[in-house]
Chain A
């Protein structure tokens, strides 16, 4: 698949269960788009913090700020989106201040669930249309969407509202959102998962519901943190053969030739880590098979990165892999 085609819809929504690396994948996707000459905005939805930490900056506000060359970041807060909406639509700036600090949005959104989501999606529409002015005229908007459980309600909110209202400006506006979400040229939903039991089964359910119940445009499913194969089959056999030996001579000799002295403990550790990797890989392989089997969308595997807590260089690495893998689709 051509990368340009992959990056074509202006809105790339990224979602997945909590803890699967949704924000990391969103960030990598944003970097890929920026590398291909796009002005990118990555939008968190009512969250605090993971995204700016990846880019090594401070908290993000409602107004987009440049966090890496060509990449802007922002945090869409429903309360602020409502204030902006009332201001733009009804010139009610003063009144809107009254409730931004109270429970007001809580009440209204409890009374009419989905309204919060509409507000957030409305802001995304506003950005998509380039209504925010020149500085906010983005080519790509990556939405780091709410965790999967909530995501389905998040994305189906406009459909619900359009069903409920027959006429009026709000009905018209919610129709605009439905059109935006249903048009494959304008938006696409990418899912992120881990090669583990719970995330995989949840992803299968989400993907099914997205495509068949809500009628949105599925993109790829990113399987994150996949351990890469270390040994060829021959090498595995050699290793298995020497495993029985507590002090494998062959490896010791090879080491000695480059001036490396390996004691028994070292050799043992080498073998155990190789074994550990293999064991985890076979667990992952089982779940990846289940994922591919149950899915119509393409699966893009992203490698496990040997670090704890990712930073920008790691995101760059993931972006490299993403470019490569998407081209192979």
Chain B
């Protein structure tokens, strides 16, 4: 059985991971599409504002709430879905707001945090926030139980590993002692501790204040002050999310291209998943050049002779050159993939070659899906 098909029928969550530019979003959508065809009520959650994906699914835009893909899209492509396909996009800010509201002891405190300027900056700039919220949203969707299968795409980080560490980075961030030590002079009711704050800290604060302004420091201190007492909730949720990701319900699909960099990243990522006790499911090798025929073994001498010949000979010379060039790419890609095969056996791969059409519309997506689920 095809490895990806096996996964869609046995799992509830598929996490698509990989480095940027390898086609993660498209892969996630193609997997979800096939799952819907095979009877699953499926949701695909993307992180990117993927306008093209929305368009190819016949949706005006993707929002924070799942929208159902019209079954006419399927019928027009000559397909009959036995399940349903829903698509949505992560809204980091509103997910974060819900988290805050859930864990704040009072609605007033939640509001104070949500209106805090430091907090408003966090959702956009703090590394790891988007990853953390993606996991949070995934957890909510799964807990609601509205779907048989949820396929999620991971943020376009430069480093695919970043999102594995995100929850921990976030909770570490909120709990850092160093920060509180530096911010002590700005924390309300901390007057008694002022004497403890040493000279280095105050000198340093003076400089920082000069650079960023006193207001910024006050905002930051207020934010952390309001957060007191909520850490346990955050940490508990981070543990729950980690447990869900490690459970039998989840499978990780690592997406890569045959390029050296992304193969290196994928290899590392697959290893890291194993070390972290996260269930690796399959590898999708995307954007592979097609392999037509075998080496012809033409010699440069023959090519140059052909080049001097008649029109047919010159045409043949070009065709041979072109064939050799593609074969060279195929060989290099195969060499890169060989290294990958030593880490991830080939029976856990699905290969998607470059197609002669793009996944810009529904039928393009179906074509990708056909390749993914071939065999």
- Residues of A participating in the B interface, judged by any CB pair closer than 8 Å: 17-20, 47-48, 50, 53, 86, 90, 92, 94-95, 98-99, 102-104, 106-113, 115, 147, 164-165, 168-170, 196-198, 201, 230-231, 234-235, 238-239, 250-251, 253-255, 257-260, 262, 265-266, 268-277, 279-280, 283, 306-309
The contact string, 1 if C-beta is below 8 Å from chain A, for chain B 304-338, is 01100111111110111011011011001101100
Between B208, B302, B329, the greatest number of chain A beta carbons within 10 A of the residue's beta carbon is seen for: B208
Within 8 A of A (CB), among B329-370: 329, 332-333, 335-336, 354, 356-358, 360
* B146 neighbours in A (Cβ, 8 Å): none
The residue of chain A having its C-beta at the shortest distance from the C-beta of B291 within the complex is A269
Are B125 and A113 in contact, CB atoms less than 8 angstroms apart?
A: yes
Q: Which residues of B contact A238 (CB under 8 A)?
A: 311-312, 315
Say yes or no: A273 contacts B326, CB within 8 Å: yes
Question: Does the CB pair A19–B22 fall under 8 Å?
Answer: yes
Which of A106, A170, A254, A306 touches B306 (beta carbons < 8 Å)?
A: A254
- Whether B356 contacts A280 by the Cβ 8 Å rule is yes
Report which of A90, A106, A259, A276 forms a contact with B126, defined as CB distance below 8 A.
A106
Residue of B nearest to A238 (CB): B315
Chain B's nearest CB lies how many Å from the CB of A219?
22
CA distance A104 to B326 in the complex (A): 50
Assembly CA distance A122 to B322 (angstroms): 48
B42-78 contact mask (Cβ, 8 Å, vs A): 1 or 0: 0000000001100000000000000000000000000
Interface residues on B, range: 35 or more
B46–chain A nearest beta-carbon distance, Å: 13
Residues of B within 8 A of A113 (CB): 121, 124-125
From B21, B333, B354, A19 is in contact (CB under 8 Å) with B21
- Of the candidates A86, A99, A268, A283, the one whose C-beta lies within 8 Å of that of B292 is A268
How distant is the Cα of A36 from the Cα of B212 in the complex, in angstroms?
42
How many Å lie between the Cα of A95 and that of B211 in the bound state? Answer: 16
**Could you list some 10 contacts between A and B, CB below 8 A?**
A94-B200, A104-B182, A107-B176, A108-B208, A230-B318, A254-B310, A272-B290, A283-B358, A306-B325, A309-B336
State which of B5-13, B95-103, B136-144, B215-223 sits at the interface with chain A: B215-223
Contact among A50, A197, A275 with B358 in the assembled complex (CB-CB below 8 Å): A197
Q: Is B185 an interface residue (CB 8 A)?
A: no
B319 touches A18 (CB 8 A): no
**Contact in complex: B318, A231 (CB < 8 Å):** yes
Bitwise, B15-33 to A at CB < 8 A (1) or not (0) is 0000111100000000000
Residue of A nearest to B325 (CB): A306
* Interface presence of B147 (CB below 8 A): no
Contact residues of B between 151 and 196, Cβ < 8 Å to A: 156, 158-159, 172-173, 176, 178-179, 182
Tell me the nearest residue of chain B to A275, going by C-beta: B356
Would you call A50 and B261 a contact (CB within 8 A)? yes
Given A18-B158, A111-B219, A147-B158, decide whether A235 and B318 contact each other with a Cβ distance below 8 A. yes
Report whether A277 and B309 are in contact in the complex, using a CB–CB cutoff of 8 Å.
no
In the complex, B298 has a CB within 8 A of chain A:
yes
The reply on B236 being an interface residue by CB < 8 A is no
- Tell whether B105 is near chain A: CB-to-CB under 8 Å: no
Query: Is B296 on the interface with A (CB-CB < 8 A)?
Result: yes
Known contacts A254-B309, A255-B316; is A20 also within 8 Å of B329 by CB? Answer: no
